Amino acid sequence: MSAALLMMAALAGCSHAISVNVPVPSLGDATSDTAVKDRCSAVTATLPQTLGKASKVNASPASALTAAWADGDKAVTLTCGLPVAHTPTESLITVDGVAWRVQKHTDGTQFTAVDRVVAVTLTVPSAAMPAAAYLSGLALPIAVAAPAK
């Protein structure tokens, strides 16, 4: 067997699922907790396997409120269900019918869908920008599972 075939066989036997650490949101009010979890479960169940050039990976710890995609060492993460206050003076971008609040940070950008029955936040590291492909890939699943307010 050639060295290349041996290397491929060894790598195939050592493949592990990639996990990305995504903090699970802490939901407050127990009354709305179940409704938010149910809606977020619907959102995360419909998310695409690929987002831009990134492939879906395991979010750790596993939760119906989170998801993650990775392209090499660049991880894009999603959290659902955190309460978000939107002010009318805030700048929004709309991608395929979903309104996103944009918050730039030194290490990346957070995009939060603020016009849905539950807020969905996508965190994109600077190295994985531009985010247009990510937002476009999420618009339909979010619109279906989390209708506009």
Q: CA–CA separation, 124 vs 115, rounded Å? A: 20
Q: CA–CA separation, 41 vs 63, rounded Å? A: 9
pLDDT of residue 30: 43
Q: Report the candidate in 77, 73, 35, 70 with the shortest Cα–Cα distance to residue 53.
A: 70
More confident residue, 134 or 22: 134
Average pLDDT over residues 55-76: 91
List, in sequence order, every residue forming a beta bridge with 63; answer none if it has no partner: none
Q: CA–CA separation, 71 vs 52, rounded Å? A: 9
Q: What does the chain come to in residues? A: 149
pLDDT in tens, 40-51: 999 999 999 999
Q: How many helices (H) and strands (E) does the chain have?
A: 3, 9
pLDDT of residue 116: 93
pLDDT of residue 62: 86
Q: CA–CA separation, 101 vs 87, rounded Å? A: 10
pLDDT of residue 82: 86
pLDDT of residue 90: 78
CA angle 81, 34, 124 (to 5 degrees): 15
pLDDT in tens, 93-141: 999 999 999 999 999 999 999 999 999 999 999 988 788 889 999 999 9
Looking at CATH, the fold of the domain delimited by 29-145 is given as: Protein Transport Mog1p; Chain A (3.40.1000)
Domain boundary assignment for the chain: 29-145
7 has pLDDT over 50: no
Q: CA–CA separation, 98 vs 10, rounded Å? A: 45
* Pair 58, 19: CB distance under 8 Å: yes
Average pLDDT over residues 23-45: 75
Average pLDDT over residues 77-100: 86
pLDDT of residue 131: 82
Q: CA–CA separation, 56 vs 63, rounded Å? A: 14
pLDDT of residue 8: 30
The chain-wide mean pLDDT, for the chain, equals 81
